[in-house]
Chain A
Amino acid sequence: MSHRILIVEDEPNIVISLEFLLGEEGYDVALAGSGEEALEHVARRRPDLVLLDVMLPGIDGFEVCRRLRTEPGAPQVILLTARGREAEKIMGLDLGAACYVTKPFSTRDLLADIRRCLAVESDV
């Protein structure tokens, strides 16, 4: 069974690129455009991994990550950000994100990070 990944991102063109890359790898991909939508989707569909943009309209990515990670059986979270200050990276990891990816990212590195996170997930 293929892994379920939720993309939370409000930039249409970045969504198109991520959707293409993950679909090509055979993942089951869903989309959310805001923090609220993401929380709702996770509660309903229980994805294995959430690719989460930090700068979202409404509830931001850090807050979504915090809320997700406090639940039992929480999905893995990879934070994506175009800000990329060191302090924010540490904050993201403290909130329980598995990794913190700065935009613009290498598509190959991102796919490797996703594979690594999902492998950890399967081991548990």
Chain B
Amino acid sequence: HAMFWSMAVNVGLFTAGSAWATPGPLESRQARRFVDVFRAGDASEPPQWRADTPVAAVRALLARFLGADRTRRALDGHFRGRGLDPDGVEHGDVELMTFAEKLLAGSTGAASAHVALRSVAEEHRLDPDEVFSLLDETSRVLATSRELEDKSRQLERASGELRRANARLRELDRLKDDFLATMTHELRTPLTSIRAFTEILHDRPDLPEAKRREFLGIVLKENERLSRLIGQVLDLGKIESENLADFVDVPPGDLVHDAAATFRGRFESGGVRIELDVPEDLPALRVDRDRVQQVLVNLLSNALRVLQGDGHVRLEAALRPPGGDRRFVELAVVDDGPGVPEADRETIFDKFRQARGSSHGTGLGLAICRGIVERHGGEIWIETSDLGGARFAFTLPVAESPPDGGDPAP
């Protein structure tokens, strides 16, 4: 807005300057025209082009706005159309000036074209109408320029968003490449053992029976490992891309008891004690029951593995202190095994990030757990347990409580 008024004042000053700086007869003519403005009907006097304007001057003016080439083409066309030799005309006539004005109006606006041509034709006069027209044009140009500025700011924002999206896509692409490279490695490793032992068995029919059985056992085990890996990759894909099954309301106690029952035989036969710490009055959870069962089973089998047949496991459930709008129940599998080093606690849930050398797992179990918990809107983490080992904990949302006059939000 301020810019508009500053332009307006400038144009005004220029008008006044050109009017009063011009000496003698022109000055008086200007003065007359200013007075004439206030007489109705007199302002629409048609422009009178003098027929003696040098063509070179018109050409130079047009060239400033249209470029030399376009000007030459246009003027040549104009003269030829009238049967004139373009190079033979020295002074423009009314027809030329009208043509030039139209041509120029396309680039500068009609009022500016008119004034500019007049100044070339040495009829350097500005009347108030022309000034107002110039102001109109200027304000339109300013409005357009403001619009363009807005548009360019919008474009800037959009391009920032695109840049961020692009960076995110690149990161995803890199993760996908990493995943594929690791996947390739994880698939080829068991295949290597299978191929080597199959060839050994195939090429040596006289292998002692004990060796034969040992090698066949390895082939079978590596086969199982491969199947398990493929199963888990498919599982992970499903968890990441598909919707979870129907959510049902389940008391946390049921989930914990079911998981413990699955394992009780295996734990106790191996000398591992398992205990439950689950209050009776916990609210029901809204979950995909089979998937949550899978999380508990994965965590329990990890615990069973690290304890190697001797130790103590506790399954816990507790209401999380109300920190937000939704309430959660925290479930945890606690053991007194060797624990997980601080440095590995962030990455242990990533795909294939298991400590190498622990060739039992596929490196996908915890990634699957995290996927399932996050699809429920919960979190999963690991901390040091009060038993000295690891505590794998995760949260799941409580089912919507029935509208029985619950307390208002704090």
Residue ranges of A at the interface with B (Cβ–Cβ < 8 Å):
10-14, 16-18, 20-21, 33, 55, 57, 82-85, 102-108
Contacts and interface: CB of A to CB of B under 8 A. Distances in A.
A12 B197 CA distance: 13
A33 B203 CA distance: 28
Nearest to A85: B181
B357 A105 contact: no
A74 B193 CA distance: 29
30 contacts: A10-B356, A10-B357, A11-B189, A11-B192, A11-B359, A14-B189, A14-B192, A14-B196, A17-B196, A17-B200, A17-B218, A21-B196, A21-B200, A55-B185, A57-B357, A82-B184, A83-B181, A83-B184, A84-B188, A85-B181, A103-B188, A104-B191, A104-B194, A104-B195, A104-B196, A105-B195, A105-B196, A107-B195, A107-B200, A108-B199
A14 to B, nearest CB: 6
B200 A103 contact: no
A83 B180 CA distance: 10
Nearest to B197: A17
Given A57-B357, A108-B199, A11 B193 contact: yes
Interface string B74-98: 0000000000000000000000000
A20 B201 CA distance: 12
Contact of B193 (A13, A57, A83): A13
B192 A103 contact: yes
B222 interface: yes
Given A82-B188, A104-B195, A57 B356 contact: yes
Contacts of A85: 181
A12 B356 CA distance: 12
Contacts of A17: 193, 196-197, 200, 218
Interface in B10-65: none
Interface in B136-192: 181, 184-185, 188-189, 191-192
Interface string B334-358: 0000000000000000000000110
A32 B346 CA distance: 30
Given A11-B193, A57-B357, A104-B191, 13 more contacts: A11-B192, A14-B192, A16-B218, A17-B196, A17-B200, A57-B356, A104-B188, A104-B195, A106-B199, A107-B195, A107-B199, A107-B203, A108-B203
Contacts of A105: 192, 195-196
A103 to B, nearest CB: 4
B161 to A, nearest CB: 34
A82 B185 contact: yes
A12 B184 contact: no
Contacts of B211: 20
A88 to B, nearest CB: 10
Contacts of B193: 11, 13-14, 17
A32 B188 CA distance: 21
